[in-house]
């Protein structure tokens, strides 16, 4: 429909010849183009219009400065280099205050702030050891230190080596001064990225530490004005210092209890759901086991476990097509899917073809979907079925799919009003947290100069609409979000009394 409407205007433009009608047609064509993007159909009330003036005053100033000084435009810089400058942006400060709704794509052990993660390494009884090129961490009682590795107590290492903390920090993050030389290609950054998951596994696999960490994750999201979370995880076994181990359903129970505790302490937080997302780099028998486990989780925790996904670097193989019988079994039992698919720059390889399988399997949302623009047959399906694409700007840049957010496929998806949500993926490992940093890049880098508060409002509403919440929960979430939104609009007008009108 949209293509048809633009075509009609172009034809009328060609058929006219006077100068006045040319300007008229030009204005119509631009207006038509701008009327399509995410959020463009929303109508702001008087207060929102005033708040929008403030926001857009800052956006135009920052955007136009970038247009004149392209080397300083933050969405064109690597996040590691631009992060501190983003934090000084007035646009970013407004986005931080904005009620952003739900966070729908992140991975459990990579969500909390890196500072908090590092502080956990000061806990007693933590040991470290090199194994197969990865620095591992694990809690032991003094009397039960494992003999599978040369485990050394961190407190001892710290007291004997003043540079130990610098070393340890480097094992918990991808952040480096010069990312281009540290990670020359996509495979090298993915290798370092996957290594961090292994490093933190033993630290966060301790049941008590995990509960503390997950509580902090929810608190950090809450503080970033996020009201609901859907997070993925491989569901590793857990342990405690008394020698107990926990697996499968028990681990889901530990997650669930922690979320319930947080909800009790912060009743206006709308809750969290868990997407069981084990590793894809496995054989069929292992996936048979995943299916059985997933069905068990759904039966025991139908209000907490949202569905299923598979994780791991897609370009290295193990595409969805390898597991169709198992995935069809899950589908037939009514399981919702949230597949990572098309997280790639390639075209015609198994990675982008994952998009076809995800859609044929009736996926509820698509993680990344970065390659979807190369497959026009999928456009209408995604729009008609409202299969939300989870766009993670910083992840895609750090993991080397894109350098400059203006060139991210998200810019075209946003301009064409695809169902999108903006997500954070693994913020801990690149020094981000919450959702605000990713929202900033979507607003400043992917959306056009003219996209305004309506775009941000639509993103927040999308995150509730495309969540796995039940209808009644969505209504409650919308109701809470609307009151937060009104307060946010009021606060902008109070906090920033000087309206900068530079339109």
Binding site for Zn ion (CB under 5 A): 425
**CB closest to Zn ion, residue no:** 425
Residues 6 or more apart from 14 whose CB is under 8 A from it? none
- Report the SS3 class of residue 238: strand
Catalytic residue among 368, 375, 405, 408: 368
What torsion, rounded to 10 degrees, do the Cα atoms 64, 68, 72, 74 define?
Answer: 30
C-beta closer to Zn ion: residue 224 or 425: 425
Task: Reply yes or no on whether 471 is catalytic.
Answer: no
C-beta closer to Zn ion: residue 395 or 496: 395
- Token output for 11: 């034809």
Q: Across the strands, what pairs with 139? A: 126
Closest distance to Zn ion from the beta carbon of 423 (Å) = 8
- Report the SS3 class of residue 391: strand
Q: Residue 264: in which H helix or E strand, if any?
A: helix 249-265
C-beta closer to Zn ion: residue 108 or 484: 108
Cβ density class 415-452: b for 16+ within 10 Å, e for less: bbbbbbbbbbbbbbbbbbbbbbbbbbbbbbbbbeebbb
Closest distance to Zn ion from the beta carbon of 440 (Å) = 19
C-beta closer to Zn ion: residue 39 or 312: 312
Maximum alpha-carbon separation in the chain: 90
Cα–Cα distance, 145 to 165 (Å, whole number): 22
Task: Reply yes or no on whether 451 is catalytic.
Answer: no
Q: Residue 253: in which H helix or E strand, if any?
A: helix 249-265
C-beta closer to Zn ion: residue 368 or 454: 368
Closest distance to Zn ion from the beta carbon of 176 (Å) = 21
Cα–Cα distance, 335 to 321 (Å, whole number): 17
Helix 46-68 to helix 90-97 angle (10° resolution) is 140
Catalytic residue among 343, 390, 451, 465: 343
C-beta closer to Zn ion: residue 424 or 458: 424
Helices of type H across 333-387: 350-360, 379-384
Strand order in the sheet with 388-391: 340-341, 365-368, 388-391, 420-422
Closest distance to Zn ion from the beta carbon of 134 (Å) = 20
Closest distance to Zn ion from the beta carbon of 105 (Å) = 6
Closest distance to Zn ion from the beta carbon of 435 (Å) = 14
Could you tell me if 87 and 433 are in contact, meaning their C-beta atoms sit under 8 angstroms apart?
A: no
* Active-site annotation, residues: 343, 368
């Amino acid at each position: 429909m949209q293509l048809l409407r633009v075509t009609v205007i172009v034809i009328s433009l060609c058929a006219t010849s006077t100068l006045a009608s040319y300007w008229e047609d030009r204005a119509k064509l631009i207006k038509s183009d701008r009327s399509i993007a995410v959020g463009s159909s929303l109508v702001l009330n008087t207060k929102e219009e005033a708040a929008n003036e403030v926001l857009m005053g800052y956006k135009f100033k920052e955007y136009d400065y970038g247009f004149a000084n392209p080397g300083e435009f933050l969405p064109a810089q690597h996040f590691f280099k631009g992060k501190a400058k983003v934090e000084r942006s007035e646009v970013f400060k407004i986005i931080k205050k904005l009620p952003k709704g739900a966070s729908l794509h992140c991975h459990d052990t990579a969500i909390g702030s890196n500072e908090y993660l590092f502080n956990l390494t000061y806990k007693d009884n933590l040991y470290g050891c090199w194994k197969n090129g990865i620095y591992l961490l694990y809690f032991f009682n003094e009397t039960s230190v494992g003999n599978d590795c040369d485990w050394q107590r961190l407190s001892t290492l710290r007291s004997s080596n003043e540079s130990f903390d610098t070393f340890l920090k480097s094992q918990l993050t991808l952040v480096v001064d010069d990312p281009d030389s540290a990670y020359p290609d996509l495979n090298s950054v993915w290798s370092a990225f996957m290594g961090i998951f292994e490093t933190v596994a033993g630290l966060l696999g301790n049941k008590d530490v995990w509960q503390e960490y997950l509580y902090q994750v929810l608190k950090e999201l809450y503080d970033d004005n996020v009201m609901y979370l859907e997070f993925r995880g491989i569901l590793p076994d857990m342990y405690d210092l008394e020698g107990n181990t926990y697996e499968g359903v028990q681990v889901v129970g530990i997650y669930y209890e922690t979320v319930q505790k947080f909800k009790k302490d912060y009743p206006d937080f709308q809750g969290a759901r868990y997407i069981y997302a084990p590793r894809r780099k496995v054989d069929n028998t292992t996936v048979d086991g995943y299916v059985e486990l997933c069905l068990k989780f759904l039966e025991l925790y139908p209000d907490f476990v949202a569905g299923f996904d598979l994780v791991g670097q897609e370009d290295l193989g193990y595409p969805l097509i390898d597991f169709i019988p198992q995935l069809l079994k899950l589908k037939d039992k009514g399981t919702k899917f949230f597949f990572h698919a098309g997280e790639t720059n390639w075209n015609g390889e198994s990675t982008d073809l994952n998009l076809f399988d995800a859609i044929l399997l009736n996926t509820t949302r698509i993680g990344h979907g970065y390659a979807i623009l190369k497959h026009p047959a999928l456009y209408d399906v995604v729009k008609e079925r409202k299969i939300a694409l989870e766009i993670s700007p910083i992840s895609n840049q750090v993991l080397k799919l894109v350098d400059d957010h203006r060139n991210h496929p998200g810019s075209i998806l946003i301009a064409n009003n695809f169902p999108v949500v903006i997500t954070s993926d693994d913020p801990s490992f690149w020094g981000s947290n919450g959702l605000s940093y990713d929202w900033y890049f979507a607003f400043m880098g992917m959306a056009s100069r003219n996209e305004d508060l309506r775009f941000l409002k639509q993103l927040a509403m999308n995150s509730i609409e495309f969540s796995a919440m039940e209808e009644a929960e969505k209504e409650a979430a919308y109701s809470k979000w609307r009151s937060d939104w009104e307060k946010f609009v009021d606060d902008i007008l109070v906090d920033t009394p000087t309206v900068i009108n530079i339109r």
